[in-house]
Amino acid sequence: MTERETDGDQTLHGSLHSLRREYEEIRAIRRTRRIEMPEAQVKMNVRKASEKVSIIDVEGELTAFAEDVLMDAYNQASDGHVRAIILNFEGLEYMNSSGIGLLVTLLIRINREKQRLLTYGLSDHYRSIFQITRLDDAIAIHDSEEEAVRAANAM
Amino acid sequence: MTEASPQPSEKGEKEPRDAAFWAQRIERLEVSDVPEGAANVNVQGRREVGALQGFGKLWQKTYRVGLAGIETTPEEVVRVWKVHFPEFQPPNSRFYPSMAGVAPGEVLFISASVGGMPVYTGVRVIYADNKSYTVMTPEGHPEFGWNTFSAYQDDGVTVVQIQSLSRANDPIYELGFRIVGSTEQERIWTHVLKSLAAHFGVNEPVILEKVCIDPKVQ
């Protein structure tokens, strides 16, 4: 058995800089191992709702192939003094269990940065999936952008 | 990715393409028939719990083996895996699927031994398409989280993968995993991939990648 281990105790201590470095290391491992993933069928647009709140519009499919796109969007959304990230799922067309795993990873990173993760635009179907996977215990779900931004600004 | 025919929902919204692949939401696990040989312990009436619950460090472990030298597809590998799932497990980790097999919403019972201690539990299939399926743990399971079993094409080779995203249930299990459980668990999933590869006549090394997603206990 071949083993490649990254011990978070040493590498994952807080700063956004170190998190980005870790992310780049994982990408480098992927490139080394020649894992050729198909094109991600997802687009993410980052915009500022206020100085402290960023919104990521998710359009398309949230699967394992969306990892780079999602983490790039998060890095872009985290610039400055952002304290809350809002994921807009109005354009979400498909999500599998790997997509849920990506959201867990994102949530852990956001928590470590002492930021908050909120969502809006989830259809009944995707709300149900958040409940099945218990993501709704940790990620605030709102009905509209206005409501989510208001909640984020109140933090 | 499997295509499903979009169906209009009751609200008139177009049904998402993934709708058929996800299990229905339930409050607690309900088991009507227990397969022969299985023990309905830590399953009936338990709530499901994910990687955000639990106590220990959150680990993502990815096991891969390439089925080099043979012609097959991810769909065929996953089809075989679903049908023969229990046969690929080692003797110390027995899985008992329901009559419906590996399908969204179905419960798989587990009788295992970790560090010499018997463990009776189960998992529910929360997602299944023709290239992957995912199981989620209930309360009482040593770990909280998900395991995804999948296959994909990489440079003309079908690669088979198990990815777990989980953390120990409580401080005792966390200690147990650090001492012996984690290594034993890695042996189990390596065995499964070796057995699956052998079913297709392949003998290739299993590669394991471990990433500590969250080093904090909670």
Average pLDDT, stretch A18-40?
A: 55
H or E element, residue A107: helix A97-112
- Give chain B's mean pLDDT: 90
The pLDDT assigned to B2 comes to 37
Which amino acid makes up residue B3?
E
Q: pLDDT under 50 in chain B at which residues?
A: 1-6
Three-state secondary structure along B45-61?
Answer: CCCEECCCCCCCCEEEE
* Confidence label for A33 from pLDDT (cuts 50, 70 and 90): very low
Same domain, A73 and A21: no
Cβ neighbours for A8, distance < 8 A, ≥ 6 positions apart: B57, B211, B212, B213, B214, B215
Of the residues A35, A132, A135, A139, the best mutation for testing chain B's interface (the one with the most B CB atoms within 10 Å of its CB) is: A132
Structure tokens at B85: 């799932």
Same domain, A28 and A62: no
Write out the residue range of the structural domain in which residue A53 sits. Answer: 38-153
- Model confidence at A2: pLDDT above 70: no
Q: Which residues of A touch B129 (CB under 8 A)?
A: 96
Average pLDDT, stretch A138-143?
A: 96
Task: Report the domain count for chain A.
Answer: 2
Same domain, A48 and A66: yes
The pLDDT assigned to A22 comes to 61
> For A36, which of B1, B155, B207 is closest by C-beta distance?
B155
Q: Output the domain CATH number for residue A115.
A: 3.30.750.24
Which amino acid makes up residue A34?
R
Same domain, A85 and A119: yes
Q: Which residues of A touch B186 (CB under 8 A)?
A: 1
Same domain, A68 and A131: yes
| A71-130: pLDDT as tens digits | 999 999 998 789 999 999 999 999 999 999 999 999 999 999 999 999 999 999 999 999
Same domain, A29 and A96: no
Share of chain A above pLDDT 90, in %: 71
Distance from CA of B126 to the nearest CA of A (A): 8
Same domain, A8 and A53: no
- The residue among A37 and B148 whose pLDDT is bigger is B148
Instruction: Return d(Cα A143, Cα B140) in angstroms, integer.
Output: 34
The pLDDT assigned to A135 comes to 95
All domains in chain B, ordered by first residue: 33-212 (3.30.530.20)
- Measured in whole angstroms, how far is the alpha carbon of residue B6 from the centre of its chain? 27
Same domain, A43 and A30: no
Same domain, A30 and A45: no
Of the residues A12, A39, A96, the best mutation for testing chain B's interface (the one with the most B CB atoms within 10 Å of its CB) is: A96
Q: Cβ of A97 and B53 within 8 Å?
A: no
Same domain, A1 and A58: no
Q: Cβ of A2 and B205 within 8 Å?
A: yes
Contacts of B117-125 spanning 24+ positions with Cβ under 8 A: B120/B39, B120/B41, B120/B42, B121/B41, B121/B42, B121/B43, B122/B29, B122/B40, B122/B42, B122/B43, B123/B147, B124/B23, B124/B29, B124/B48, B125/B23
Q: For chain B, say whether A88 makes contact (Cβ under 8 Å).
A: no
Q: For chain B, say whether A131 makes contact (Cβ under 8 Å).
A: yes
Same domain, A56 and A129: yes
Same domain, A115 and A141: yes
- The residue among A146 and B97 whose pLDDT is bigger is A146
